[in-house]
Chains A and B, each alone.
Chain A
Amino acid sequence: MEIIKDGHIVANDWRHLSDDEALPEQAVTVSLLRWKNERDRLLACSVPLGLRLNSDDSLEEIADDLKYFSIIVLEFRQFTDGRSFSLARLLRERYGFNGELRARGDFLRDQMFFLSRVGVNAFEPNGSANAQELLPALQEFTVKYQAAVDVKEPLYRRRK
């Protein structure tokens, strides 16, 4: 399956492990619940690890663990749920996470521009969506009034 990463279409090299699946010998992401239950076991295996966060998961309690993950996946169960936009920004700006930050699931094409501004750099859409068609959505706006993860200064400091 293909995903969008850093503005390009690339192969998905992460397997999203469900909570009852056995650990394979490859890069996997696990849910926060599984991480909490099996933290030591997961750390003991040598595969690269990623964490999947739901929009209502608390960042504060795992802040110290972020260093173990090379990817964090923000799960979109409902595109109207905007909490992950704040999570993304906090992960980048407050908790200094600089691995891959991926939106996965039921986000809309038209949310990708916003997501890219709050620090999401990879997009794994739901089954039917075509990555090629989604790509231009990242460029729909050239004007950004606010400071965010992508531009550090608000427009009023950049106006010429």
Chain B
Amino acid sequence: MYQYDNYDQTLVNERAAQFRGQTERFLKGELSEDQYRPLRLMNGLYIQKHAPMLRIAIPYGLLSSRQLRMLAHIARTYDKGYGHFTTRQNIQFNWPKLEDVPDVLSELATVQMHAIQTSGNCIRNVTSDHLAGVGGDELEDPRPYCEIIRQWSTLHPEFSFLPRKFKIAVNGAAKDRAATQLHDIGLQLVKNDRDEIGFEVLVGGGLGRTPIIGVTIRPFLEKKHLLSYLEAILRVYNRFGRRDNKFKARIKILVKELGKEKFTEMVEAEWAAIKDDLLLDLEEIERIKTFFQPPPYVTLADNPLLAEKTAHDSQFAAWFRHNTFPHKMPGYRVVFVSLKTPGKPPGDLSASQMDVIADLADHYSFGEIRVTHTQNLVLADVKQADLHDLWQRLKSLELATPNIGTATDIICCPGLDFCSLANATSIPIANGIQQIFDNLDYLYDLGDIRINVSGCMNGCGHHTVGHIGILGVDKKGEEWYQITLGGSSGKDASLGERLGPSVAKDQVCHAIEAIFQTYREHRLEDEAFLETVRRIGMRPFQGRVYGDN
């Protein structure tokens, strides 16, 4: 992974020192609440229901074991002993004290971490594919470009006070595991007809209140133009994006109001004026690539003992089938650490679990951990021969629930339990759905289902792109839930369609069960849930959910 040199280190040190000064001035009353707000937000600090919430950047989801141990230390020392991984591959702490945050940032800086631009109206943490470099279906590893963009966007002098937040995702694989169509800018590595690799540039996707799928404004961009093109887009947005209404301030609204053609024309005109001044040197790309070389794999054959182990141990077999993923190297496997233990808040991890995972990463996976946008962790490079041992260790930590990609692997925002913007709770809804499955056969029979829960229309739980989306709404002071079906954040991105009137809290699980039943009755052979929804439409589901009353 990328290693800071003197420059990178100096910058995070200076940033931590700056934030210490800002916080001191605020606590002394020299900065007003309004003046301090954008400054703390640019360091990931929200003021929430119970306490401040601190969001720490995990650039494109990549962590070293040393960094994870630091997060454990922070959870233990400054928080209540746990952290929450988010859908943007970051981690949030819910209970730090405001006056401690400067210390937290100083400690993070010692392990090359920071909270820069994890919130606020600026360019946020760049996200990517959690299987980058190991998935086998990729044209090129996206992470070097993420790092290049991270550096370019860090304290960008022109684009730190945008109309609204700005999110960029980069994907290099055939499958879109980075939700590029749902970002302000999505970059997909593609090959042109001369066999050169460059980027397809998408703009104007986003979730939140007005979910929109991004549009391609440039089918092929040469790598050397990456940064100038980004600057052109950002400049058009910074100058012309709406600032009169914060709900209309995202770039997606600008693209929509101008129309794709006009917007593209403006970007291309801006780009034409700057493209030759800001070239991304190929040597720099090569330099950054050296940090993302494959780890020292040993030459192995696919492990023959594995089949035997799975034949004899059905629990291990289930975990192997659901929580591990083929690796491009023979003899290796990608392991998902499920943070979706039924009954626990999705995405939460305790300090002691973090410490052990850091040890496991050192022992089994070259000391690296990845965070997925589905709020799980990945150990990307595990020898097949080690899988059984690793599984036992994870099981003892309650981190081996064999449910990746299934209906209990729910993406969920903090909701009313923590968030002051919430209409309704979301964690109890996720836990309630998990309880439907007292037996795993039922869960596995349903196959791949992505369920997403958000406590309000800001959509931090990505409900609009869930195969099943659940959105908390406020109905005369009570918690009700709006259900959508048919969303997806993959290659075939789509926004879910409303099933019908919202349902009361105690009816959500019944409704979800009715949806499962409808699917079971209507599916054709191997048809996945999403395919069935797309084929048969809302009607049969509506009949079953609302039919009797």
Interface residues of A (CB under 8 A from B): 79-83, 85-87, 89, 93-94, 108, 110-111, 113-115, 117-118, 140-148, 154-157, 159
Q: How far is the CA of A114 from the CA of B157 in the complex (A)?
A: 4
Q: Is the CB of B38 within 8 A of A86?
A: no
The answer to whether A143 and B10 touch (CB under 8 A), given A83-B238, A110-B18, is yes
Q: Mark B349-383, 1 if CB is under 8 A from A, else 0.
A: 00000000000000000000000000000000000
Q: Mark B121-138, 1 if CB is under 8 A from A, else 0.
A: 100000000000000000
- Known pairs A81-B243, A82-B158; list 18 more (Cβ under 8 Å): A82-B162, A85-B159, A86-B235, A86-B239, A94-B273, A108-B38, A111-B161, A115-B157, A117-B157, A140-B14, A141-B18, A145-B151, A145-B152, A145-B156, A156-B281, A156-B287, A157-B284, A159-B7
Q: Mark B142-168, 1 if CB is under 8 A from A, else 0.
A: 000000000110111111111100000
The 11 sampled A-B contact pairs (Cβ below 8 Å) are A82-B121, A83-B238, A83-B239, A86-B238, A108-B38, A110-B18, A110-B22, A117-B157, A140-B14, A146-B156, A155-B151
Q: Is the CB of A146 within 8 A of B161?
A: no
Chain A residue nearest to B12 (CB atoms) is A143
Separation in Å of the B358 CB from the closest CB of chain A? Answer: 29
| B303 contacts A by Cβ under 8 Å | no
Indicate which residue in A82, A89, A114, A143 contacts B14 across the interface (CB closer than 8 Å). A143
Separation in Å of the A76 CB from the closest CB of chain B? Answer: 10
Contacts of B154 in A (CB 8 A): 145
Separation in Å of the B281 CB from the closest CB of chain A? Answer: 7
Q: Is the CB of B121 within 8 A of A80?
A: yes
Chain A residue nearest to B227 (CB atoms) is A154
Indicate which residue in B14, B152, B158, B281 contacts A141 across the interface (CB closer than 8 Å). B14
Contacts of A87 in B (CB 8 A): 239
Q: How far is the CA of A108 from the CA of B18 in the complex (A)?
A: 13
| B11 contacts A by Cβ under 8 Å | yes
Q: Is the CB of A156 within 8 A of B11?
A: no
Main DSSP-derived SS at the B contact region: helix
Contacts of A118 in B (CB 8 A): 157-158
Q: How far is the CA of A113 from the CA of B39 in the complex (A)?
A: 13
Q: How far is the CA of A54 from the CA of B277 in the complex (A)?
A: 27
Q: What's the tally of chain B residues with a CB closer than 8 Å to chain A?
A: 37
| B5 contacts A by Cβ under 8 Å | yes
Q: Is the CB of A141 within 8 A of B235?
A: no
Separation in Å of the B102 CB from the closest CB of chain A? Answer: 14
Q: Mark B3-17, 1 if CB is under 8 A from A, else 0.
A: 001011011001101
Q: Mark B208-224, 1 if CB is under 8 A from A, else 0.
A: 00000000000000000
Separation in Å of the B287 CB from the closest CB of chain A? Answer: 8
| B174 contacts A by Cβ under 8 Å | no
| B440 contacts A by Cβ under 8 Å | no
Separation in Å of the B161 CB from the closest CB of chain A? Answer: 3
Q: Is the CB of B238 within 8 A of A114?
A: no
Q: Is the CB of B161 within 8 A of A85?
A: yes
Q: Is the CB of A142 within 8 A of B157?
A: no
Q: Is the CB of B238 within 8 A of A85?
A: yes
| B258 contacts A by Cβ under 8 Å | no
The answer to whether A146 and B38 touch (CB under 8 A), given A81-B243, A86-B239, is no
Separation in Å of the B245 CB from the closest CB of chain A? Answer: 14
Separation in Å of the A131 CB from the closest CB of chain B? Answer: 15
Separation in Å of the B198 CB from the closest CB of chain A? Answer: 19
In the complex, chain B residues 245-292 whose Cβ is within 8 Å of any chain A Cβ? 273, 277-278, 281, 284, 287
- The listed residue with most B CB atoms (<10 A of its CB), out of A83, A143, A155, is A143
The answer to whether A82 and B238 touch (CB under 8 A), given A117-B157, A141-B11, is yes
Contacts of B239 in A (CB 8 A): 83, 86-87
| B110 contacts A by Cβ under 8 Å | no
